[in-house]
């Protein structure tokens, strides 16, 4: 329907001065002149809605010379040249870059001549053409009763490309989906598997920086452009990792994006994300519902730093400018009598699925000497999920010295409740569940979880590969001593499935022995004292991943899937999981007022 204007803090988001020129490794820009609409932030237009295009032009270049065309790549009735109505409006001048300054302009175009369908947007400027794939969807009608898809976490990398390809294939085969929302972790940045994490942890040292993002973001974009439906793309922690030159540990600063006054930035995943897909946060109105597409990985850049995927902090954070925008958007939706749904990669309640609610993880510094601890901590999370379905995960961060009472997430949660948000839909945990809170319920209380779990194995015996008990014990001993290099030497050369199974069993055994027990500081009493209670029914919902680590055989697709949401007045009133193997449907979970 009507796309909301870009947030003021997001206007110049793709300017090269704030991205490519602020880091030493190259970025292949997919988003340059066209800041809206884009592949990841498309315009969803109902009958009579004009198309508002935001273009970035060199200072002095007249906006009147810009031409707009809807490109009919998906086989309809042909391209449509769009008449621009009214005068272009300046949205402001951007920062000074190597090629001077850019000016943002908003052009309004009439799309009434376009047959309802999905289009690329081709924009021709004096500097040349730019095409945004799948950026405009014109609908014959928007009833608010459509079906849409929620999903997350493809964690795209070269070796799991077939996961994203499978998802695209399945989406394209369905004709009942109006649009898709993918809630973060589009790219992986080299987690890949357990052995790779240990290899990275072992090898962390100064040296020339290699960025997986350089290859993965363009490749993921090309695959997503094959969708025949529009997709809203959000940021996850895997999309926003950072390395300084030489993988240096760097000077702490509060720099977030763009130039860094103290450190030489080799890459920042958030630069890649916004130059590939579009803005880092935005909102979309659909029928009588406003969808807030947020960025919950807004840690200072120094906190997002690491050695490839060996980062110390991967939980959520939101900065003041975004939380202010969120509050304004929610207030505006209230004034219009709209429902509100918020997409967030991370759960702002700290824990998830009733576990560790109120667990806000202290930031920890990244150092070369800490990489073994970081890798083992992450493996522990992976092992826990795989074997016990217990949750331990960095969902949201806190500053170590900050009293929990002053944590800014308290304001975020309070805002969601005060504005009577209908649902918070999240990724990050790779499974499906819903916790519904009714008026008066504390949102840190454990509620019955309504869910359809995609995870398969429930015990170590089901891990698949046969492993030697002695080797598992050796790996236990080495991991306990953080001798990750010795683990790599011991397992290198074995089939990947066997190495993975040994590590998983060792982690599960160490967990069962309580070897990692002191690591989690869970503070339910403190957060309950916040007194945050639902003012109306609110659904905290996690949705499935479309592919991550275990992707070696066809049956692995049982564990990957997506959720189809049935809308009413534009908001989800039921969700149902479909796997990516046989397209098997899980039970339907109703999201009803209680």
Nearer to Fe ion, 271 or 428 (CB): 428
| Residue 452 beta carbon to Fe ion: minimum distance, rounded to whole angstroms | 20
DSSP codes joined into one string, 476-511:
HHHHHTT-HHHHHHHHTTS-HHHHHHHHHHHHHHHH
Binding status of residue 304 toward Fe ion by CB under 5 A? no
Helices and strands (DSSP H and E) totals, the chain: 11, 28
Nearer to Fe ion, 301 or 542 (CB): 542
| Residue 429 beta carbon to Fe ion: minimum distance, rounded to whole angstroms | 8
Binding status of residue 260 toward Fe ion by CB under 5 A? no
Binding status of residue 348 toward Fe ion by CB under 5 A? no
Cβ-closest position to Fe ion: 428
Query: In 10 A of CB 46, how many CB atoms?
Result: 18
| Residue 305 beta carbon to Fe ion: minimum distance, rounded to whole angstroms | 17
Question: Which DSSP state fits 299?
Answer: -
Binding status of residue 361 toward Fe ion by CB under 5 A? no
Nearer to Fe ion, 120 or 185 (CB): 185
DSSP codes joined into one string, 378-424:
HHHHHHHHHHT-------BEE-TTS-GGG-THHHHHHHHHHTT-SEE
> Which is it for strands 128-138 and 43-45: parallel, antiparallel or unpaired?
parallel
Nearer to Fe ion, 38 or 237 (CB): 237
Binding status of residue 295 toward Fe ion by CB under 5 A? no
Binding status of residue 384 toward Fe ion by CB under 5 A? no
Contact pattern for Fe ion over residues 162 through 201, marking x by CB under 5 A: -----------------------x----------------
Nearer to Fe ion, 56 or 237 (CB): 237
Binding status of residue 509 toward Fe ion by CB under 5 A? no
Strand locations in 21-171 (E): 34-36, 43-45, 51-58, 67-71, 80-82, 84-93, 102-109, 118-125, 128-138, 147-151
Query: In 10 A of CB 526, how many CB atoms?
Result: 15
Binding status of residue 504 toward Fe ion by CB under 5 A? no
Nearer to Fe ion, 211 or 352 (CB): 352
Binding status of residue 258 toward Fe ion by CB under 5 A? no
d(CA 191, CA 375): 10
Binding status of residue 37 toward Fe ion by CB under 5 A? no
| Residue 311 beta carbon to Fe ion: minimum distance, rounded to whole angstroms | 11
Query: In 10 A of CB 211, how many CB atoms?
Result: 23
Residue 2 has which token pair?
Answer: 């009507």
| Residue 22 beta carbon to Fe ion: minimum distance, rounded to whole angstroms | 24
| Residue 470 beta carbon to Fe ion: minimum distance, rounded to whole angstroms | 35
Write the CA distances from 193 to 27, 34, 232, 499, integer angstroms.
26, 36, 27, 10
| Residue 150 beta carbon to Fe ion: minimum distance, rounded to whole angstroms | 15
Binding status of residue 355 toward Fe ion by CB under 5 A? no
d(CA 581, CA 594): 34
Question: Which DSSP state fits 5?
Answer: P
> Which is it for strands 538-542 and 432-437: parallel, antiparallel or unpaired?
antiparallel
Binding status of residue 428 toward Fe ion by CB under 5 A? yes
Nearer to Fe ion, 185 or 435 (CB): 185
Binding status of residue 561 toward Fe ion by CB under 5 A? no
Peptide bond into 284 cis (omega under 30): no
Contact pattern for Fe ion over residues 211 through 250, marking x by CB under 5 A: -------------------------xx-------------
Of 31-39, 425-433, 445-453, 564-572, which segment contacts Fe ion by CB under 5 A?
425-433
| Residue 2 beta carbon to Fe ion: minimum distance, rounded to whole angstroms | 30
| Residue 306 beta carbon to Fe ion: minimum distance, rounded to whole angstroms | 14
Of 17-25, 199-207, 274-282, 420-428, which segment contacts Fe ion by CB under 5 A?
420-428
| Residue 550 beta carbon to Fe ion: minimum distance, rounded to whole angstroms | 16
**Residues in the chain, overall count:** 594
* Residues in contact with 481: Cβ distance below 8 Å, sequence separation at least 6, in sequence order: none
**Site size with Fe ion, rule: CB under 5 A:** 4
Strand locations in 163-319 (E): 177-183, 231-234, 242-244, 265-268, 282-286, 289-293, 306-307, 310-311
Residue 312 has which token pair?
Answer: 């110390």
Q: Which residues bind Fe ion (CB under 5 A)?
A: 185, 236-237, 428
């Amino acid at each position: 329907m009507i796309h909301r204007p870009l947030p003021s803090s997001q206007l110049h988001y793709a300017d090269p001065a704030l991205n490519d020129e602020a880091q030493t490794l190259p970025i292949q820009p997919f988003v340059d002149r066209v800041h809206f609409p884009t592949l990841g932030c498309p315009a969803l237009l109902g009958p009579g809605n004009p198309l508002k295009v935001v273009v970035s032009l060199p200072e002095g270049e007249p906006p009147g010379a810009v031409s707009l065309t809807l490109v009919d790549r998906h086989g309809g009735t042909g391209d449509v040249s769009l008449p621009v109505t009214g005068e272009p409006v300046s949205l402001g001048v951007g920062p000074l870059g190597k090629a001077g300054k850019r000016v943002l302009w908003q052009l309004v175009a009439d799309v009434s001549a376009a047959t309802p369908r999905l289009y690329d947007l081709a924009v021709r400027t004096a500097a040349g053409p730019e095409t945004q794939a799948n950026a405009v969807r014109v609908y014959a009608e928007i009833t608010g009763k459509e079906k849409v898809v929620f999903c997350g976490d493809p964690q795209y990398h070269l070796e799991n490309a077939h996961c994203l390809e499978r998802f695209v294939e399945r989406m394209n085969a369905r004709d009942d989906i109006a649009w898709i929302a993918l809630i973060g972790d589009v790219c992986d940045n080299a987690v890949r598997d357990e052995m790779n994490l240990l290899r990275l942890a072992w090898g962390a040292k100064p040296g020339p920086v290699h960025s997986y993002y350089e290859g993965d973001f363009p490749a993921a974009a090309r695959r997503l452009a094959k969708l025949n439906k529009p997709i809203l793309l959000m940021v996850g922690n895997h999309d926003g990792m950072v390395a300084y030159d030489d993988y240096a540990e760097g000077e702490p600063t509060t720099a977030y994006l763009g130039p860094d006054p103290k450190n030489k930035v080799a890459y920042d995943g958030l630069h890649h994300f916004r130059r590939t897909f579009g803005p880092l946060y935005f909102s979309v109105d659909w029928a009588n519902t406003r969808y807030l597409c947020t960025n919950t990985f807004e840690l200072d850049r120094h906190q997002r730093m690491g050695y490839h995927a060996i980062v110390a902090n991967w939980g959520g954070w939101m900065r003041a400018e975004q939380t202010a925008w969120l509050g304004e958007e929610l207030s505006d939706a209230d004034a219009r009598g709209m429902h509100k749904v918020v997409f967030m990669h991370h759960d702002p309640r700290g824990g998830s699925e009733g576990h560790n609610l109120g667990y806000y993880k202290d930031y920890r510094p990244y150092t070369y000497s800490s990489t073994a601890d970081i890798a083992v901590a992450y493996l522990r999370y992976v092992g826990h999920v795989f074997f016990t379905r217990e949750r331990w995960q960095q969902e949201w961060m806190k500053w170590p010295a900050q009293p929990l009472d002053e944590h800014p997430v308290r304001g975020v949660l309070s805002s969601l409740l005060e504005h009577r948000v209908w649902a918070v839909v999240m990724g990050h945990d790779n499974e499906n569940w819903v916790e519904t809170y009714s008026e008066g319920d504390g949102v840190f209380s454990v509620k019955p979880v309504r869910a359809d779990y995609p995870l398969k194995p429930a015990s170590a015996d089901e891990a698949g590969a046969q492993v030697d008990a002695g080797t598992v014990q050796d790996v236990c001993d080495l991991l306990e001593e953080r001798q990750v290099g010795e683990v790599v030497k011991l397992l290198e050369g074995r089939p990947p499935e066997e190495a993975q199974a040994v590590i998983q069993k060792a982690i599960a055994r160490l967990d069962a022995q309580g070897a990692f027990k002191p690591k989690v500081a869970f503070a339910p009493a403190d957060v309950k004292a916040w007194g945050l209670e639902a003012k109306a029914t609110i659904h905290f919902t996690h949705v499935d991943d479309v592919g991550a680590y275990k992707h070696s055989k066809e049956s692995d697709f049982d564990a990957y899937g997506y959720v189809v949401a049935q809308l009413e007045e534009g908001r989800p009133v039921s969700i149902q999981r479909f796997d990516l193997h046989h397209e098997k449907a899980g039970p339907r979970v109703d999201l009803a007022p209680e």
